[in-house]
Amino acid sequence: MPPVSTGLRAALVFGFAFVSVLGQTLESTIYLPDSYGGIRCPTSLTLDVPGDRIFVAGTRADRILIIDCRTNQRVGYVPVHAGYMPILGYNPASHKIYSHAGDIGWYCIADADSGRVILEFSASGRFQEDVRRFFCDSAGNRVYCLTEDGTPVGVIDGRTDSVYVTQFAGQPAGISRYDTVTQRWVEYRCSTVVVDSGVGQAAGPPGSPARCFNPRTGRAYEVARGAREMVVTEDDSVVARILLNFGSSGCYSPRHDRLYCPDRDQLAVVDLAAKRVVSLLPVKGHLVAACYSAVHNRVYLADDSGGAVVVFDPDSNRVVTRIDVNGHPGSLLYDAALDRLWCADPDAGRLTTIDCRAGRVLADIGLGTGGWWPQHLCLDSPDRKLYCASMQESTLCVVDAERGNLISQLKLPGAAGGVCFNHQDHKLYCALHWKPARLAVIDTRTDALVRTIHLGDEEMDCPYELCYSPAANRVYCAGWGKTAIVDCERDSIVRTIGLGTLPRSVFFNPRTRRIYASDVATWGTHTLRVYDEAADSAWEVAGVESPKQILWDRGNRLFVSGPSRIFVLRDE
């Protein structure tokens, strides 16, 4: 991670881009201090002993982080196409990093010093599905691709980056060679096996959790599956914890015209008038979410490492108190009318209700078993009820928003995803994951399931994000490849539109009647997409890279968080 002064010096890059005939422009780009990003769920790591560096990969992350073991700071990253449970290997002979995403069979070879990608290719067969770890032979300058039991199914030449695939079916069947010049597979028959299965067995069983040891310093580096940090130990004592998560949600204060963006143990304060980071404040803990209360003029920060909600005073730029909560808070929701703050722990499936006037916890309840627990919370403010959906348990929990106690649990006919509230018709809509794609309709006066809308197997898959348009009385249900528009009066599909391959952070701007979505599924080209409800037209916003969270100042500005930067958009 660069020093603070570097981040402040690189505070702003102006970029004006004409986006569409509807007058939407990218006004400016504000850079946050850390340009390396992070990994929410690290699963694999490998060590460069001579360089004293660690390489870390994670589930669905788009990068391999490079960490300097002397400073415990992130110093770079390698852009990769990572899938589920990626694996890593380091070859000291060629000084290269090797990564493999098993579910998509994608391999990446990169230079360890520069982080530059040398070669990427997609494999098939056992080379795609069965490779679980790498074994680097420094003497022969080869990298063996091994199954879980140590059987080699391929070898990569460290000098030429040539890839050889071997199939074991009693007798050696055939070997394919990947030609790096023509980028094609060349197949031929052979009578001998080019890899030695004994080499794989010598590598030992795969470690769980992921761990590596530096014999020169006597330090061990370890990440547990699903953890968000790397633990450094020496002589069985913890000497450091390196936080790997990045990209947490920020909040906007109209009183100060500032954005507050948590980054691990720091809070970046972005002055929108000055268009730069004006403060980078150290805050104890691991900050993952933020929300602002105009009633108390306070910023509330979720600390998922210390089990607390940090209360920050934006006038004095200091932490005024910490409210201890159970577990690891992951998302926050505040309501000014009730003066309540709700804090959700997505891993444990717990919900904490905080009285902001008294600054204390009113209730802490368990709503499920965690795991696939969504971080979305939906508030029915007139009836003072809060709704939470459990994907793993396929239930909808109804909570007394003022007191924080559980009112009821409704069993749903599918894995629950996002939820949204229709105030006009007293309805709650809940997306049901997996096929057949459906949308559950709940009457909030009785909290009963009244209808299930089938979205169609061919038209929609994995509906997840929802948002409601009061102007048209419609619900937008974003799924894989298609977004369904549902008429709330008839509870029927009006039509389907395209908001990208996998829309996330779907947001409705009531002033302009536009739907915004972050399309996160296109490799390397995550984009911000817009649908104009009145004009019935859709387009892609130019100049916005890897959009994540979308905020609105209730005027004509949108703030879109990207990788260590904030994009300011004029919506007019």
pLDDT per residue over 293-337, tens digit each?
A: 999 999 999 998 878 999 999 999 999 999 999 888 888 999 999
Q: Which token pair is 333?
A: 């929701």
In tens, the pLDDT along 421-451 reads 999 999 999 998 777 888 999 999 999 999 9
Residue with tokens 């150290």: 282
- Confidence class of residue 209 from pLDDT cuts 50, 70 and 90? low
- d(CA 449, CA 429) in angstroms, rounded, equals 10
Residue 152 lies in a domain: yes
Do 131 and 139 contact (CB within 8 A), yes or no? no
In a domain, 182, yes or no: yes
For the cut 60, the answer to whether the pLDDT of residue 552 exceeds it is yes
Element at 430 (helix H, strand E): strand 427-432
Q: Which of 28, 30, 27, 41 is nearest to 8 (CA)?
A: 30
| Alpha-carbon gap, residue 399 to 537, rounded angstroms | 38
Residue 108 belongs to a domain = yes
Which tens digits make up the pLDDT trace of 12-61? 332 323 333 455 778 888 888 777 877 878 888 999 988 889 999 988 77
Token pair belonging to 563? 């990788």
Confidence of residue 179 (pLDDT cuts 50, 70, 90): low
Lowest mean pLDDT among 39-48, 142-151, 354-363: 142-151
Please report how many Cα atoms fall inside a 13 Å half-sphere around the Cα of residue 327, on the Cβ side: 19
205-232 mean pLDDT: 76
Q: Mean pLDDT over residues 275-290, rounded?
A: 89
pLDDT average, residue stretch 248-268: 89
Task: Give the residue, 484 or 9, on which the prediction is more confident.
Answer: 484
According to the model, what pLDDT value does residue 522 have? 59
What is the structure's pLDDT at 520? Answer: 79
Q: What is the dihedral of CA 551, 553, 559, 564, to 10 degrees?
A: -80
Q: Which of 148, 285, 284, 266 is nearest to 228 (CA)?
A: 285
Compute the average pLDDT of residues 243-263. 85
Which uninterrupted H or E stretch holds 198? helix 197-202
Whether 458 is in a domain gets the answer: no
Let me know if 189 is exposed, middle or buried by CB neighbors in 10 A (0-12, 13-18, 19+).
exposed
Q: Which residues make beta-bridge pairs with 363?
A: 353
What is the tally of structural domains in the chain?
Answer: 1
Residue 534 located in a structural domain? no
More confident residue, 96 or 389: 96
Residue 122 maps to a domain? yes
Give Cβ neighbours of residue 316 (< 8 Å, ≥ 6 apart): none
**CATH number of the domain bearing residue 111:** 2.120.10
Q: What is the pLDDT of residue 15?
A: 32
Write out the two tokens for 89: 């290997």
| From 33-37, 169-173, 347-351, 541-545, the region with the lowest mean pLDDT | 169-173
Predicted structure pTM score: 0.76
The answer to whether residue 82 sits within a structural domain is: yes
d(CA 38, CA 40): 7
Q: In terms of C-beta density within 10 A (0-12 exposed, 13-18 middle, 19 or more buried), how is residue 351 classed? A: buried
pLDDT for position 524:
54
Q: What is the mean pLDDT of the chain?
A: 81
Q: Is pLDDT above 50 for 169?
A: no
pLDDT, mean of residues 95-115: 88
Q: What mean pLDDT do residues 481-494 have?
A: 91
Single-letter code of the amino acid located at 173: A
For residue 386, list its beta bridge partners.
Answer: 379, 399
> Strand 298-303 to strand 96-101: parallel, antiparallel, or no bridges (unpaired)?
unpaired
Is 71 a domain residue?
yes
pLDDT given for residue 192 in this prediction: 33
What pLDDT was estimated at residue 525? Answer: 65
124: domain range?
38-243
Residues contacting residue 83 through CB under 8 Å, at least 6 positions apart? 59, 60, 101, 102, 103, 104, 106
The Cα 278–Cα 268 span in angstroms is: 8
Taking CB atoms within 8 Å and a gap of at least 24, the contacts of 92-96 are: 92/48, 92/49, 92/50, 92/136, 92/138, 93/136, 93/138, 93/139, 93/141, 93/158, 94/141, 94/158, 94/159, 95/48, 96/158
